[in-house]
Amino acid sequence: MDDEENPTASWAAMPDSSAFYRKLSVYQLQWPIHDLSDYVIAGARYGGPLALMRDATKMLAMPRMGSSSRQSIQIFSSSGEAINTISWDQGRIIRFGWTFDERLVVLNEEGIYRLYDLRGDYAQHSLGPEAGEMGVIDARIYENGLVAMTGAMPGTSIGLLEVKGWIGGKPISLASPGLTEPPHAWSIVPPDVFISRHVEVLLASEATIIAVDALEAADQHLARGPFLHVAPSPNGKRLALLTATNVLWVVSSDFQNSLVEFDVNAAAHDAGASSGALVQYVQWCGDDAVFVGLDGLTLLVGPGPSLPYFYPSATFAVSEIDGIRVFSADTCDFVQKVPKNALDVFLPGSTEPSAILHDAWMHFTKRSPRADEAVRHIRPELASAVDACVDIAGWEWNVRTQRALLNAAKYGRAFLDSYNPTDFVLMGQTLKVLNAVRFYEIGIPITYAQFVHTSPSHLLVRLTARSQHLLALRIAAYLSMKPDAVLKHWASAKIARAKKADGSSEDDATVCKTIVEKFNQLGGGEVSYADIARRAWEVGRLALAIQLLEHEPRPADQVPLLLEMKDDKRALLKAVDSGDTDLVYTVLLDLHRRLPLGDFFRMVEDGGPRLAPAANLLQVYARQQDREMLRDFYYADDRRVASAILALEEAVGMDDPAAKAASIKAAQKFFSEDKGSAFEAKMMDENLRLLAFQQELEKDVDHKVKFVGLSVSETIKLCLVNGLSKKAERVKKDWAVPDKRFWYIKLQALTQLGDFEGLSQFVKSKKSPIGYEPIVHHLAETGHAKEALAYVPLVEQKKRVDLYAACGDWQAAGKECIALKDRTRLENVTRMCTDALARRELETMLRSFG
Amino acid sequence: MPSTAPSIDSSKPEIDPSQVVDVGVLKELAKRYLVDALNSVNGPKTLVLDPSLAGPLGLVTEVALLKQHGVDKMFWLEPGPLQATTTNIIYLCRPQVQWAKLIAEHVKQHTKESQNHVYTLLVVPRESSVVKRILEDEGVLGDIHISEYNLQFIPLEDDLISLEYDHAFKEIWLDGDETAVYNSAQALLTLQKIYGLFPRIIGKGDHAAKLKNLLKRLQSQSPRQAPGSHTLSEKIDSLFIIDRRVDMVTPLLTQLTYQGLVDELMGMTSGHVELPASLLAAPTAQQTPSASAAASTSAAGRTALTKEKKKKHHLTAANDTLFRDLRDLNFSVVGANLSRHAHRLDSEYQSRHQAKTVPQLKEFVGKLGGLQTETQSLKLHTGLCEIVDPQTKTEVFNKSLEIQQNLLALYDVNAQISAIEDLVAQGVDVAVVLRLLCLASIVAPGIKPKVFENLSREILQTYGYHYLPLLLNLSTLHLLTTQPLSPAAQSLKLPLSALKKSLRLLTEENETDNDISYVYSGYAPLSVRLVQCVAQKGALLAAPAPVGEEAGAVPKAKAPKTRSHPIVGWKGFEDVVASFPGEVFDVVQAPDGGATDSSANAVSVLLPREDTTTTVVFFLGGCTYTEVAALRWMASQMRGRRFLIATTGIIKGSSLIEDLATSL
């Protein structure tokens, strides 16, 4: 590039408008590609690489008929450097495209897709059996997902499947578009730019466009079709449509506003191309111009007439957020709109402050006194002029121009009292980075806007993916960023290479040490050792993997790998030590599936107290999910009491008396086998007897009353309530129910029946073992205060006051107080009294008291 | 009551709000996570909810918000078919086997009926391998998109946050399932992310220590990018962790504060209590329907959520200033307090007669709305008291209180045990009996084997033999012990007689006015005494002067509030806290994420500050409303320190015991 070249030399004015466009010649390509039209091409955004595959539909002279069925995809950087070649041995490739992190997605007709990184390592996923059956006929791939189109069976519609994120998730079926034939053209609006945050598919069918999302397919009722090209703008707000008559029609993406109509044929004719030329592609140049590619000619279409760019051969274009990258067989160009700040500075005759500042700097370098004069002239606008120069330095590609602009800014800054230099410093740093990666050997022609949009860390990821570790590390250090991701990649590469040598050259300990040292030295504290260990394991270096894994602080990352490596014991220990119960479950469930039951139990049990949490969790899980296993577990471990409790718990839930009895019997047996559980065994005996007795009872009353499931006390009560007092007595005797409890039960039963006569007889039958106070209380609390009064005199005198009060007989309570000669209590009673009439009487008593 | 004492000064006007730890953030966080989770699914959706999450969710969101984010209908996750009209179905549940099985059933049913649905499962608080495994075993894993809804601390009040785990105690100590410990550590980590590192972590209890270690380890593993997560908190001066096992005495006792009693006698779930609809009928009682009350019933005859005539009411000080005054009072003075409020309200209403001029009238009308709200709330609490009061007058209630107090005083333990036996004979609620029996086991050196066997038999015969597992579980936990104590039980034995002296657990009647022991009418909760050892040493070192003449049970903040002292760990109480079971710890956290043992020297971070600081008290295994009340009371006695009470859940003795009954 000629350094003395005027920055405006690459500019061209859009006819009939004040807009200028710049065509930068970025790289001259030296690559083995001679005609782009022979290839199917996918280009990654943000100055990313190109993937090219021979177009099988094109006739070409085959030099040799070797592996004819094999398809292969070549990957080149934007500067034409070969990066990798992928050979494909699966079904026919339908489409390929790039992810945000510059992995190549290759999808075949069976719905299998692979994600290749630039080194050629891949992960394979599938769109599921449905896609395989129907066959994938086309797809659109965007940075964070893809939409695949499946073929239509007779009588059905074509289908659309969406995959989000590149993690192999289950595809989601979008609404059926109701088309039996593939559309003329189609496109998608990625979710990150579409208002609903969900993907939108635009299908050109007949004369209209059908917009499809997950929920519905909406016909937009257009009549100008059929459309041969559908292209949404990078921000998703506009749509470029090309009709069959080569009219380019730009509308807002809701189809409400028609923005531009443009006759491509006429323009091509004007530009000297043969009319009716076939449009190869329609792409956006930023968000405000459309780039139409024809054979040997490209047209940049803005709101007015078009701007033609001529190329000798076929071209290919990659739409960018701030412009468009155009490839021909031997050039890589970048076309973009010239921003206002650049117009201000560089347009000949500009009197804008920024232009004057730039001029002033030029004078200054020539030691001309006019420099000072110029700066003083723009003093009020100096700050904004400085900002503009800094800003436009970022837009410039020419290093000398960049430097001139930054120097101009620096010069202007000196005249300002206070100026925040952050932007200036950042711009300087950034430009250094950008210029480094634009160098043809690296071949990432990224613009400042794209760099800001994708973030510096993204650039680091891209550099590491190209194995440019050194550059990446330097940039990381330069921009004070974490080098973790780079280091991780470096370590993986190191392990892979160490293996590829002869094996003995670098032993595990050395490799591990090198990696750990490097990490500590460069502060890669957040690098996941587990990821690196996995890499080591994948290339077959088990010992190294384990050594590396020991450096991993996060058990959640250690454990899964240990499991995969079948280092079960260590996995279990690590999981338990982590305190993360879910991790313990992960190990337990995996072991339970893989190991014979006996081995599994032994591993958990032999761990002693250290593995006790695992044993506990195993029981919690088994109790809910696999009781059979739990029984085995307890049995294997001679845990009789636990076995008994398990049986007993099951008995509770059972309705069938026979099954219930069987379970209780089992519990009884387990208890009797345990020497400390004689009492429990006896209780289970009682329980069984009760169950049998209750069944008998039910038979006696013709199953009108349900006894099974009741306790001994409840059985007695129910017998009494149902007039089976003999039976009640029998239970009392057979189960040795103490008199006290029996009295309480009978008291409750008779009260419930309202049999106060019976109660009276019962109470008088012998001296009450529970005293008489509880009888009064029970009656009073169940609302039978009147009946309760009869029993108050049976209670010793001291307590009668409160009992009378509890029954609401205030008068009697007062009299008792007098009998007791207790004035204080009488006062208390009076205060507590809620009955106005009685209170008056009490007050009289109180007065007469003394 | 001669003179009604001023209630606890709850408004605390002297505290600068900017220094207060605002727990509203936590609610917003919970809400945002939920909204994000809902929005990840496009279009209208049916929400199927684990019933145990209804309460917690009701505290963070309203039905309207769910509707706003596309929730068309809500169902309980329960057995039986699910008829959903939307394509999207979202399940929201805790990671339990039963839920996973129900979901699998739904999916299989729908597949059979060739209904096409898109399933999303949100596991609370995080994804679970068990759930995944079960769905896999059932063959439906591929059909369900599993994600998580990280619901952690939920604010119940502005000083009380809860994880709302109902079974934490049972899971940790009976099952040995320490998921709750891990989740607690994660939740505390979130607090650290929001408010900064706890400068000091102090605590007692083996599991509390486990939690502390886990918290430190997770902190050291957490990524450093998050700003602020590695600097010391400026608003919080320390975290105090106590595990429930350290103090089993307190939850076994009957709570005697207003809110505590409401929980004991009526049951509160997630801050809600069921009340007769008539109490809530007035116009001001219109509640924003909480999510818990709004899941609809389907044609398939799903259970109706709102029972007839009963309504759920959210009892919270946030919208009920009267409740703020009442909740922590000993119930014995609530009545008097209510009547005082009634009189005040009445006189304020009367003030309209004095309103002669238009401006005066205008002023009165301006107050009217507030007065009406207050009237309504007065009506509510009067009604509530009317429900609670008779239950506190029953023979059984008072008998059980008497037994508790005698046991604590170690007064004739044998007689207390026969009194308990008597209660069994009467067939009173089994939880009441077992609480007393456990208490007897803890205070006395175990029950005589013969007596215990006889009691067990009485219990099994009275309540049913299926209580045998519960009795065995209580024995396993050494909550029920027999003489002679096994070595394991011996190691867990609480030296109550010594502690009663060294920590003044029991106070004389006239002292309760000036001490946290008012909450149990004479017993100071051991757990809160431990907090005092660290955060209010003065209260323990110098016995408060008896307040003789006034016998009201409201503690009076008459003496000028003392300035709170900085947190210096257990200093002065090292021997006492080491004298009973449970690991004692005290670490100072350094900003770089490391921690050093404080016994060395760390006074630099503990310089007294003039601003208000907050001490977080975390109860692992749950705390009672009464303990909350005691902590609030402590805070009211000091200048410069607030407590933020965090817990795995609100518990009470009866639910604690009942929870241990089933191992299912």
> Could you tell me if A40 and A164 lie in one domain?
yes
Q: Which pLDDT score is estimated for B560?
A: 58
Whether residue B17 has a cis bond before it, omega within 30° of 0:
no
- A571 lies within 8 A of chain B by CB: no
> Could you tell me if A321 and A364 lie in one domain?
no
DSSP result, A555-574:
HHHHHHHHHHTT-HHHHHHH
Residue B278 φ then ψ, to 5°: -60, -30
In whole angstroms, what is the distance from residue B406 CA to residue A216 CA?
73
Residue the block writes with tokens 């837009």: A395
In whole angstroms, what is the distance from residue A589 CA to residue A584 CA?
9
CA distance to partner chain B, nearest, from residue A494 (Å):
25
Count: domains in chain A: 4
Cβ of A553 and B221 within 8 Å? yes
- Number of other residues whose CB lies within 10 A of the CB of residue B544: 18
Adjacency order of strands within the sheet including B584-589: B154-157, B160-162, B641-647, B613-620, B236-243, B200-204, B584-589, B595-597
Closest Cα partner for B469 from A627, A737, A694, A651? A651
Chain A positions in Cβ-Cβ contact with residue B424 (cut-off 8 Å): 741
> Could you tell me if A169 and A44 lie in one domain?
yes
Choosing from A303, A337, A371, the residue where a domain stops is A337
Chain B positions in Cβ-Cβ contact with residue A169 (cut-off 8 Å): 145
- B460 lies within 8 A of chain A by CB: yes
With a CB cutoff of 8 Å and minimum separation 6, the contacts of A53 are A39, A40, A41, A71, A72, A73, A74, A93, A96
Chain B positions in Cβ-Cβ contact with residue A684 (cut-off 8 Å): 465, 468
Q: Is A394 helix (H, G, I), strand (E, B) or coil?
A: helix
Chain B positions in Cβ-Cβ contact with residue A710 (cut-off 8 Å): 464
Q: What is the CATH number of domain B24-152?
A: 3.40.50.2060
The pLDDT tens digits for B194-210 are: 888 899 999 999 999 99
Alpha helices in B294-357 (DSSP H): 321-326, 334-354
Which regions in chain A score pLDDT beneath 50?
1-3, 63-68, 500-501, 503
Mean pLDDT of B246-271: 92
B contact residues 61-90, partner A, Cβ 8 Å cutoff: 87
Cβ of B426 and A580 within 8 Å? no
CA distance to partner chain B, nearest, from residue A772 (Å):
13
Q: For residue B664, what pLDDT band results from cuts at 50, 70 and 90?
A: very low
Q: For residue B603, what pLDDT band results from cuts at 50, 70 and 90?
A: very low
Residue A678 φ then ψ, to 5°: -60, -40
Which of B96, B456, B664 lies nearest to residue A649, judging by beta carbons?
Answer: B664
Does some domain include residue A252? yes
Alpha helices in B42-84 (DSSP H): 54-60, 63-68
The amino acid sitting at B217 is R
The amino acid sitting at B130 is V
The pLDDT tens digits for B466-498 are: 999 999 999 989 999 988 888 888 888 888 888
The pLDDT tens digits for B71-110 are: 888 899 988 888 888 889 999 999 989 899 999 999 999 9
Q: Which pLDDT score is estimated for B305?
A: 40
A222, A228 Cβ separation under 8 angstroms: no
- B145 lies within 8 A of chain A by CB: yes
A contact residues 156-215, partner B, Cβ 8 Å cutoff: 169-170, 172, 196-198, 213-215
Cβ of B461 and A679 within 8 Å? no
What distances in angstroms separate CA B191 from CA A70, A169, A429, B29, B61, one per listed residue? 58, 33, 38, 11, 20
Residue A28 φ then ψ, to 5°: -95, 125
Q: Which pLDDT score is estimated for B550?
A: 41
Q: Which two tokens stand for residue B41?
A: 């699914």
Does some domain include residue A280? yes
The amino acid sitting at B450 is K
Dihedral of CA atoms A704, A708, A709, A714 in degrees, nearest 10, equals 70
For chain B, the average pLDDT equals: 83
The pLDDT tens digits for A49-66 are: 999 998 877 655 554 444
> Could you tell me if A44 and A148 lie in one domain?
yes
How far out from the chain centre does Cα B475 lie?
A: 25
Chain A positions in Cβ-Cβ contact with residue B464 (cut-off 8 Å): 709-711, 714
Domains in chain B: boundaries? 24-152, 395-491
Which of A585, A589, A683 lies nearest to residue B465, judging by beta carbons?
Answer: A683
Choosing from A337, A367, A382, the residue where a domain stops is A337
Q: What is the CATH number of domain B395-491?
A: 1.25.40.850
Does some domain include residue A432? no
> Could you tell me if A289 and A345 lie in one domain?
no
B contact residues 154-213, partner A, Cβ 8 Å cutoff: 171, 175-179, 181-182, 185, 210, 213
> Could you tell me if A141 and A40 lie in one domain?
yes
In whole angstroms, what is the distance from residue B408 CA to residue B431 CA?
19
Report chain A's terminal Cα–Cα distance, integer Å: 124
The pLDDT tens digits for B373-412 are: 888 888 889 988 988 988 888 888 999 999 999 999 988 9
Q: Which pLDDT score is estimated for B549?
A: 40
Does some domain include residue A506? no
CA atoms B604, B610, B616, B617: torsion sign: positive
Q: Which two tokens stand for residue A126?
A: 């599938």
- A624 lies within 8 A of chain B by CB: yes
Domain with residue A149: its CATH number is 2.130.10.10
Q: For residue B311, what pLDDT band results from cuts at 50, 70 and 90?
A: confident
Cβ of A616 and B175 within 8 Å? yes
Q: Which two tokens stand for residue B306?
A: 């709102």
A437, A446 Cβ separation under 8 angstroms: yes
In whole angstroms, what is the distance from residue A324 CA to residue A240 CA?
15
DSSP result, A628-668:
HHHHHHHHHTT-HHHHHHHHHHHHHT---HHHHHHHHHHHH
Does some domain include residue A146? yes
Chain A positions in Cβ-Cβ contact with residue B395 (cut-off 8 Å): 774, 777, 781
Q: Are strands B584-589 and B562-563 parallel, antiparallel or unpaired?
A: unpaired
- A713 lies within 8 A of chain B by CB: yes
A473, A489 Cβ separation under 8 angstroms: no
> Could you tell me if A44 and A174 lie in one domain?
yes
ipTM: 0.86
- A645 lies within 8 A of chain B by CB: yes
- Number of other residues whose CB lies within 10 A of the CB of residue A848: 8
> Could you tell me if A268 and A164 lie in one domain?
no
- Number of other residues whose CB lies within 10 A of the CB of residue B52: 19
Chain B positions in Cβ-Cβ contact with residue A652 (cut-off 8 Å): 466
Choosing from A370, A393, A419, the residue where a domain stops is A419
DSSP result, A297-325:
EEEEE-SSSEEEEE-SS--EEEEETTEEE
Domain that holds residue A835: 797-850
